[in-house]
Amino acid sequence: MLSKRRFIIFVSDTVLIGVALLLAFLLRYDFSIPQDQRALFWECLLVVLIFKPMVFAMTGFYNSLWRYASVQDALQIVKGVFLSSFVVIAAVFFLQQFTPLPRSIFALDSILLFIMLASSRLVWRVCRETYIVSKNVSGPLTLIVGAGEAGSLLLKEIRRQSGASYRVIGYVDDDPEKKGMKLHGIPVLGGVKQLNKLILTNEVEEVIIAMPSADGKTIKDIINSCKNADVIFKTLPGISDLIDGTLTISQIKKVQIEDLLGREPVDLDRDLIGAFLTGKRVLVSGAAGSIGSEICRQVALFKPAKLILLDQAETPLYEIEKELVNRFPEIRMLALMADVRDRENILQLFDEFTPEVVFHAAAYKHVPMMEYNPTQAVLNNVFGSRNIADAAHQSKVSNMVMISTDKAVNPTNVMGATKRSAEIYIQALSRNSSTRFTTVRFGNVLGSNGSVIPLFKQQIAAGGPVTVTDKRVIRYFMTIPEATQLVLEAGCLGKGCEIMVLDMGEPVRIIDLAEELIRLSGFTPYEDIDIVITGLRPGEKLYEELLIEGEGVMPTSHDKIKVMAPVHTDLTCVCDEFERLYEAARSNKVHELMESLKRLVPEFNPTYSFNGSAPLTFQRVRPDLFPAPAYGSAKVVLLRKS
């Protein structure tokens, strides 16, 4: 109330309170207040001028911004008006010195005051938006695709911004009931199939796609129409970013490859996840990685008692800690520099900080890199996971969730075999532990470290060529937020020793992804930017799988999460083989390491074989781009798969 703006509004409302009462008397007495009622009017006026402004101030009347006046503000006015009228009526009857007032006076006063207060709050917004719309006539002619909630929010925000650079002339929407209708005074001109014609007819310069939940095919059709008409096209953020009903002009962005996937928003059971995480001590290993850092962001939304970030990468760990501290200052954060391979240190950290929920995301995941360095893949992915699982078991952690990969299914590479080995150990351990262990298996995530998308973007920025290993290669993709949200949900659903598989949707051809990304960058594939086929890399498959033979699929309460029937494995046998595997990895005996992995993972079928006398050879389309991996002193023959 001390600000100048609020004081002016307060005085204005006080004047309207008096005017409303005067009009109520005039209407009641046919615009001629009797002489004997005039003293009563002045006495009532004194009461309402004392009590009503006081009630308005106490109910938060002056905390809203006129420029954003909405239905919620109208409801606030209704509550304030009728509450203040009730207080005035009580005061009048309590004082008992007035001549009895006609009951219609109170009804008329309340109705008139509501109309006047609501009108006063809308006048400024209407005048301001009208002024801005007329002022921005020089902006580019713009069409909004999508006359729904997102399109409505977008137009409102454009009109609110004094520096808005869009002159919206129409909407495009496929709903036949909307055609010819108007949204905030802007007409719906037609459907998406007519977009090209509408752009040319109306000389449109920009198109904004306001369809956050549209499928990839619809987005592609819109983009193709925009490209054919040679106009700029942009889009809004995903539906999860609009969930609070707010939107800013700065959120309008260029169409990204993620938008073409058309992934539907994840429907989370927030109450279930809240019971799982809220008020708990949560530890995330690999917290500085692409998946681990997003898990930290998602976990922080549920207000854990403490969030422990564990990683060995100093600078990325510093960056994610700084980000989370700024975004969630109320949550206790602890950044721990530690290597999951250091067993004694991991056990000590768990004993000291006693986490209740653990997300294990620390792993080496670059397939070709792990083919070159199999011992490090084993030490980190297998024994790092074992160390975290053992620490969780000994510390009696309530829940542990391990992040796995579709490459663990019928693996043809070291990375996949190591992740499958970790799955086997955790499933075997869970049968003798009070800790509920859950493994979550999913495919590629767009934008993660090592993902094909950042590589393609770098190659396009350098002028090409874009390298694709094989025209037939297909992969499952999902976005990082979607994957991590489903990981949280899967962690809640796990009862112990399950492997959860996320619904990855339809697979995507990598070459199609490369072509779309080139187009989105404003170039033409094979003309401006060439695409070169390099041949499959070491350990790479044409396609990935999500199930191993013998793993039955069962549904869960979430339609995007399936649970695999557990494969029973004896822990003692696994531990015995782990000892042989550990010794081979520590001694850099690659041949023995590979044989041990095959015994642990019978379905492991590497794309190379060992021959004691044969020289190291590697058959490729472009051997100059990818040299053959050197496995220590071992002699390896790499056999290119058809």
- Which residue, among 30, 248, 98, 32, has the nearest Cα to 160 in the 3D structure? 248
* pTM for this model (two decimals): 0.62
Cα–Cα distance for residue pair 13/18, rounded to 1 Å: 9
Q: For 550-570, what is the mean pLDDT?
A: 66
SS (H, E, C) 521-587: CCCCECCCECEEECCCCCCCCCCCCCCCCCCCEEECCCCCEEEECCCCCCHHHHHHHHHHHHHHHHC
* Residue 377, helix vs strand vs coil: helix
- Please state the φ and ψ torsions of residue 156, each to the nearest 5 degrees: -60, -45
Statement: residue 193 has pLDDT above 50 = yes
Statement: residue 510 has pLDDT above 90 = no
Please report the pLDDT score of residue 44 as a whole number: 80
Q: Count the neighbouring beta carbons within 10 Å of the beta carbon of residue 412.
A: 23
Statement: residue 255 has pLDDT above 80 = no
249 pLDDT band (50/70/90 cuts)? very low
Statement: residue 110 has pLDDT above 70 = yes
**Which residues lie below 8 Å from residue 123, measured CB to CB, with a gap of 6+?**
none
Kindly tell me the burial class for residue 79, based on how many C-beta atoms sit within 10 Å of its own C-beta (0-12, 13-18, 19 or more): middle
Digit-coded pLDDT (tens) for 400-420: 999 998 888 888 889 999 999
Rounded to 5 degrees, what angle do the CA atoms 122, 127, 131 make?
A: 150
Please report the pLDDT score of residue 186 as a whole number: 85
Digit-coded pLDDT (tens) for 453-497: 778 888 888 888 888 888 888 776 777 777 888 888 877 777 777
Please report the pLDDT score of residue 163 as a whole number: 56
Cα–Cα distance for residue pair 76/80, rounded to 1 Å: 6
Distances (CA, A) of 100 to 27, 63, 344, 570: 17, 36, 86, 90
Cα–Cα distance for residue pair 226/220, rounded to 1 Å: 10
Active-site residues: which are they? Answer: 407
Statement: residue 125 has pLDDT above 50 = yes
Q: For 166-185, what is the mean pLDDT?
A: 84
Cα–Cα distance for residue pair 533/473, rounded to 1 Å: 11
- Specify whether the CB–CB gap between 565 and 499 falls below 8 A: no
Domains in the chain with CATH codes: 4-133 (no CATH), 136-255 (3.40.50.720), 270-445+479-504+545-587 (3.40.50.720)
Here the tokens at position 511 are 């070459």
Q: 74-78, 123-127, 313-317, 627-631: which range is least confident on average?
A: 627-631
Q: What is the mean pLDDT of the chain?
A: 78
Cα–Cα distance for residue pair 152/245, rounded to 1 Å: 10
